[in-house]
Each structure stands twice: as C-alpha cells, then as structure tokens.
Chains A and B, each alone.
Chain A
Amino acid sequence: MNTIPGRRIIMVAFLIFLLLPIYWLVNMSFKTNTEIVTTMTLWPHQPTLENYKRIFTDESWYSGYINSLTYVLINTVISISVALPAAYAFSRYRFLGDKHLFFWLLSNRMAPAAVFALPFFNLYSAINLFDTPWAVALAHCIFNVPLAVWILEGFVSGVPREIDETAFLDGYSFPRFFVKILVPLIASGIGVAAFFCFMFSWVELLLARTLTSVNAKPISAIMTRTVSASGMDWGLLAAAGVLTIIPGALVIWFVRNYIARGFALGRV
C-alpha cells in the first residue's frame, strides 16, 4: 500500500547512479598514471598502491588530514556546547526578541560563504588567529551554531516539561539538572547535531582555504594546490579524494540507525 510500483528498480538505479562516480574515483586511485592516460580500463589492470604510499609518507599530504580533522572537531565541540543552553531557552521560554533572534541565527546559516571570505581574512589576521585551526573552527561556527540550535531545539521540545519541573522540585540546581537529566535524555539529538556539524565543517572549502596558508592547510585545499602545481597527477588526486571520503563514510556507518530521525532534524 505505502509503496510505489517499480520501487526496487528505481532504488537500485539511483544507488548505482550515486556509486558509479565514486567507483570511478576509487578505480583511478589504484592505477598508474600511464594506465589512466593511455588506456580506458574499467578496473585497474596493473593495480598499484603507489599513490596511497606517496600520501602517507609525505608530511605535506597527511598533515592536511590532521589539520582538517582538528578544526572539524574544535568546531563541533564549540557548536554543540554553546547551542545546548540556547536550544533549551528557545524551546522552553519566551523572551524579548526570541523570534527575531532565531530568525537572525537561521539567516546566518544561509549566508553565502563567499561574502564572508574576505572580511574573515581581515578579522582573523587582525587577532592573530590566521592560519590556525581555531580560525577555521570559529569561522565555521557561523553556519554550524545556528544549525545545531535548530536541531537541538527540536529534540529538547520532545522532552516533556514535567521532567524539568519534577527535577527542580527534587532540588536539582539548573546546571545539575542540565548535565544529569536533560543531556542524557537528548543524547541522540546531540549525536545528530554533532553529525551535521561534522558534515558541514568537513565539506566546506572556501573559508577553510581562505583562512589558512601553510600550517593549518586543510586536505581539500592541499589537493587543489598540489595538483595545479605538478601538472595533472590523476592517480594521486584520486587517491587523495578517496581518503577524504573515508572519514565521512565511517561517521555515516556509526550513525546509520539514527539517519532517518536525524534528517527530520528532530521535528517531524
């Protein structure tokens, strides 16, 4: 009843459409450049790990992964910890300017990164954070904090108000109630919010590239630079691409049972 005709075919076709370009990237990453350029092969005929070996042995390559993961983690921690109390406030209380504040937050999630690239460059240079993971982490807060507030607000609203009242009657102070009762109750919501923060910080390039030069260069920026400098090393580019997919794939694997609920942003 709740299905549509031919759904298996549609689903399989769509999943193949999603996987084919990724397969091609993986395929390329195991080929030598000669094989890539001279012949068209559907799978590597002379499989090689040379591309991956180069990335794992060259510090300028693998430090990029460390830089990226560093700012993503800092950003996720900041976003969640400031968003939690705010989400509680938005969910439970009415206060002066609450609706406007919420809209203002939301509008920052939507602001184009290109608009902020240059002013951020000036701002973070001025306070000596340029080229550190902190600059990127703080810059990414502009879209991740509003998103985290939005998601967590939905989850907090799902917690019955009676629980707060009972806790306060039992003599819990506000901070203790927050940490001991509320946070465990919305643990899955926090997981979902963290997932989204990770996701949007991990995939962003424009700000991350603008705010770093040498020491905190993210992997995605190293990819573009190295490739344009040394001609087209397709195999190496593909291998670096595959390695950027892996952290995302791992995260999805861990949250696979929460994806459906997570994408409802806690409010269906």
Chain B
Amino acid sequence: MDKTVNQKAWFLVLPVFLVVAFSAILPLMTVVNYSMQDTFGNNQFFWNGVGWFKELLDPSTDLGGRFLASLGRNLLFSAIILAIEVPLGIVVALSMPRQGWTVAASLVILALPLLIPWNVVGTIWQIFGRPDIGLLGYTLNGLGIDYNYVSNEFDAWATVIVMDVWHWTSLVALLCYAGLKSIPDAYYQAAQIDGASRWAVFKAIQLPKMNRVLLIAVLLRFMDSFMIYTEPFVVTGGGPGNSTTFVSIELVKIALGQFDLGKAAALSLVYNLIILIVCWIFYTVMTNAGAERPEKQGGA
C-alpha cells in the first residue's frame, strides 16, 4: 500500500505533537537544566557542568556505585522475567480453550491482573506472601521452608519475580493468542496432510505468525520491567538492604527523598538514554520485519 506524500498531514498530527511535546519536551528541558547544576537548598543553584555525569559513571563514588548497582539488578530482573514470561506466555496461549464459554471466561481471568492498579498488585502480594497472615507465606513456612520476603534477599527477589510473572504473563499470553487466532485453519489442515509433527507445526506455522506480536510483547515487557517502580516498592520497599532497589526506586529516592535534583536529573538522562537506545533497536527490527514481508497479514 503506497502512501501519498502530503505535507498537510502535519495539521492532523499537530494536536498529538502539541499534547505530547507539552508533557515530554518541557519537563525534559527542566531535567537537562538541573543535571548541570548543584543545589544547596533555598532554590540556589550552582553550575556543575558534567560533574554529575562523571560521578554517575564512576563506580567508586557513592552516586555511581548506587546507580550501577541498581542498573545491574534491574537488568538481571528484566532478563529473568523475560526468560520466564515469554515461554510461559506462549505455552498459555497455546493452551487456550478453542470454543465455548470457557474462552471468554479464560480471557477475562487472564486480563484481570492487567487492570489492577500497580500498588494494589503490590498490596495483594504483600498480604499473600506474609508469613503470619498470607496464604503463600503461611503455607511455605508450614512446609518447613523458611520464607520471609522482608528479611531474606533471595525470598524478596523470588517474591518480586513471581509477582511480576503473575502480573504480566497474561499480556504476553493475550498478544500471542491474538497472533494465533489469525492463523487460518487451512494451514493446520495442510500440515496434517503433510504429516507434520506437533513441534514442526509450532516452528513452521505458529511461531512465524506470532513473531510480530512477540516482538511487541518483548519490547513492552522489557521496557516496563526496566522502569518498574510501584510493585516492588510496595512489597519490599527496595529491601532488604538495597537488594531489590531497581533504577526507578533509586531515582525516586534521590529526587523526591533527598531532593538532590542535580544527581537525580543526571541519572534520569542516562536512564532515558538507555531506554531510547533499546527502543530504537526494537523499532528498527520491527519496521524491518514488516518490510521483509510486505504482503498484508489479514488486515486489522
């Protein structure tokens, strides 16, 4: 489908541009401005050049140490949840019932965790996991496993990861399910005639049909896990110690807790830059994947 060149289309895009620019560019300029300065309170600012950035990238300083440690934790966290949620989401999508009322019921239950406010998700798992009043914590301790997410680092991590799997696997599953639904029955019949194995059907038909939505799923899951804040904050508060302090939690601590605006702004910019780069890589891969297969894929 060839698009016509029409510069007047800018008028149609203008409202979006203005709304988003108002919320994105103006605040970002404030951040850039802060990132070059130091403040000693009383709204007095001092020029600090690239000082904060130097400190940020140097692990021997306090700021750099905290940033790089939280960045490492955050990348580990994102890697773990992608490794769990993507395969699990595919399996769940393949396990969806085919017809009848169970389809609607399953879809509704799957979508439910996605519409729970994030701090309520935290609250749910806080209540569920507590050894004294929570079903999970109580049962695990009853089984002789010493589980306490408040004091044990491993348990805190496990809780945060299981919580994220609980919260977001449905998104991957629903995206994959949508991809699977678009496969015509004829494909499966052809595969049956050819005597293709279950694995061959998955590899040759289902996976290629899902790869576009899977890319979206991986992108969304990576981004959202990379900027996760509310859920771990409610459950563990970033602890025990700093073991579940991810980048966003660290940032809010510095910005709104210590009111260290310069440091927070420098951190914000570096954080944003990482996200921008990853986002750009995905965007390029996504548009290229679309360009390789120009035939229309079943429309909207």
Report the minimum CB–CB distance from A254 to chain B (whole Å): 10
The answer to whether A19 touches B109, judged by C-beta atoms less than 8 angstroms apart, is yes
The answer to whether A24 touches B272, judged by C-beta atoms less than 8 angstroms apart, is no
Report the minimum CB–CB distance from B276 to chain A (whole Å): 5
Complex Cα distance, B280 from A220, in Å, reads 33
Inter-chain contacts of A101 with B (CB < 8 A): 13, 17
Complex Cα distance, B108 from A115, in Å, reads 33
The answer to whether B251 touches A268, judged by C-beta atoms less than 8 angstroms apart, is no
| Interface stretch (choices A44-52, A53-61, A84-92) | A84-92
Interface residue A229 (Cβ < 8 Å from any Cβ of B) = no
The answer to whether B23 touches A112, judged by C-beta atoms less than 8 angstroms apart, is no
User: Given the known A-B contacts A244-B117, A266-B300, are A24 and B127 also in contact in the complex, defined by CB atoms under 8 Å?
Assistant: yes
Inter-chain contacts of A4 with B (CB < 8 A): 91, 94-95, 198
Inter-chain contacts of B111 with A (CB < 8 A): 252, 259
Inter-chain contacts of B96 with A (CB < 8 A): 7, 11
Against B, the Cβ 8 Å flags (1 = close, 0 = not) of A95-124 are 110110101011111111111111110110
User: Given the known A-B contacts A93-B6, A203-B117, are A1 and B188 also in contact in the complex, defined by CB atoms under 8 Å?
Assistant: yes
Inter-chain contacts of B88 with A (CB < 8 A): 14
What's the count of A-B pairs with C-beta under 8 Å?
319
User: Given the known A-B contacts A101-B13, A122-B30, A199-B115, are A138 and B22 also in contact in the complex, defined by CB atoms under 8 Å?
Assistant: yes
The answer to whether B127 touches A238, judged by C-beta atoms less than 8 angstroms apart, is yes
Interface size class of A (residues with CB under 8 A): 35 or more
User: Given the known A-B contacts A4-B198, A112-B272, are A92 and B3 also in contact in the complex, defined by CB atoms under 8 Å?
Assistant: yes
Interface residue A154 (Cβ < 8 Å from any Cβ of B) = yes
Query: Which of A's residues lie within 8 Å of B, judged by CB?
Result: 1-5, 7-8, 10-11, 14-15, 17-22, 24-25, 28, 36-37, 40, 42, 78, 81-83, 85-86, 88-90, 92-96, 98-99, 101, 103, 105-120, 122-123, 138-139, 141-142, 145-146, 149, 154-155, 157-159, 161, 186, 189, 199, 202-206, 210, 219-220, 223-224, 234, 237-238, 241, 244-245, 247-249, 251-253, 256-257, 259-268
Closest 7 CB pairs of A and B: A158-B300, A248-B115, A119-B27, A112-B227, A264-B178, A7-B95, A89-B12
The contact sample of 10 A-B pairs, CB cut-off 8 A, is A18-B112, A93-B6, A107-B279, A112-B227, A116-B23, A141-B20, A245-B112, A249-B112, A264-B179, A268-B182
